[in-house]
Amino acid sequence: MSEELNKRNLWDKLKEYTSARIAIGRTGNSIPVQNSLEFKLAHAHARDAVYSKLDTDELHKDLAKHNLSIINIKSQADYREQYLQRPDLGRRIDAESNDLLKTHKGDYDIAIIIADGLSATAINQNIVPLLDILIPMFNMGKFKLSPLCLVEQGRVAIADDIGGILNAKLSLILIGERPGLSSADSMGAYITYAPRTGLTDESRNCISNIRPQGLPVQLAAEKIYYLIQQSLRRHLSGVHLKDDTDDKYFP
């Protein structure tokens, strides 16, 4: 009995460090009812996240404090089912958005793009706290920022279209990631130097799992800022640009 209790205490301690489903036990050949219900609930949250929508009105209000123009952009995917079935359409902007972006063309250091991706829930919950830290850092660094672009039905590569049309040296897209069974609210950041249509994933740097139970927004902002500084200084991004900021925390 004492040995069994020690094993249980060991698993309880490990559970403090992860939201993964570990040591769920069993009842006969199945898992306990409580764990089964928790799994079904997590699956429902993940499905809801995929079909969630950007709260554009609220985002406009919450981001207005940064004194940047905010423009609404759409991909070539007209509706959610098409977006899920045709990833290629989510990577390109539609004709109306193309014309709108051309009116905002400038000489920017950074184009900031906010896209729903596969979890608008992640953006609705995490984007404001992140940008409240990150944009003041950009301002202190005297980077010239493009208008904020809110993208519906967008994939990561849509930042190549947007950054290229805006004539930005670098694009930063903040996007809802594919929801997991314990992370329906995970946001990712992708950094691309010299964005232009046709680039592939080796040209980008990614910081993922930005959320309260994952990578905290303060640390995420520091990592993003560091990579952008290095990217603009070295004129590159992707596989040739490494994130060594962990050396600061784990020397």
- Average pLDDT of the residues of the chain: 87
CB contact at 8 A, 236 and 194: no
Quote the pLDDT of residue 4. Answer: 52
Whole-number Å distance between alpha carbons of 139 and 143: 6
Quote the pLDDT of residue 1. Answer: 46
Q: What percent of the chain has a predicted confidence (pLDDT) above 70?
A: 79
- pLDDT single digits (tens) 60-75: 999 999 999 999 999 9
Greater pLDDT, 23 or 229: 229
Whole-number Å distance between alpha carbons of 114 and 242: 23
Q: What is the pTM of this model?
A: 0.84
- pLDDT single digits (tens) 98-157: 999 999 999 999 999 999 999 999 999 999 999 999 999 999 999 999 999 999 999 999
How sure is the predictor about 30, in pLDDT bands with cuts at 50, 70 and 90?
confident
- By C-alpha distance, which of 60, 237, 52 is closest to 160? 237
- pLDDT single digits (tens) 194-231: 999 999 999 999 999 999 989 999 999 999 999 999 99
Residues pairing with 113 in the sheet: 149, 173
Quote the pLDDT of residue 179. Answer: 72
Q: Which amino acid is at 176?
A: G
Q: Which amino acid is at 22?
A: I
Residue 150 in tokens: 């809110």
Domains defined along the chain, listed by start: 56-249 (3.40.50.11240)
Whole-number Å distance between alpha carbons of 196 and 198: 6
Instruction: Identify the three-state secondary structure at position 133.
Output: helix
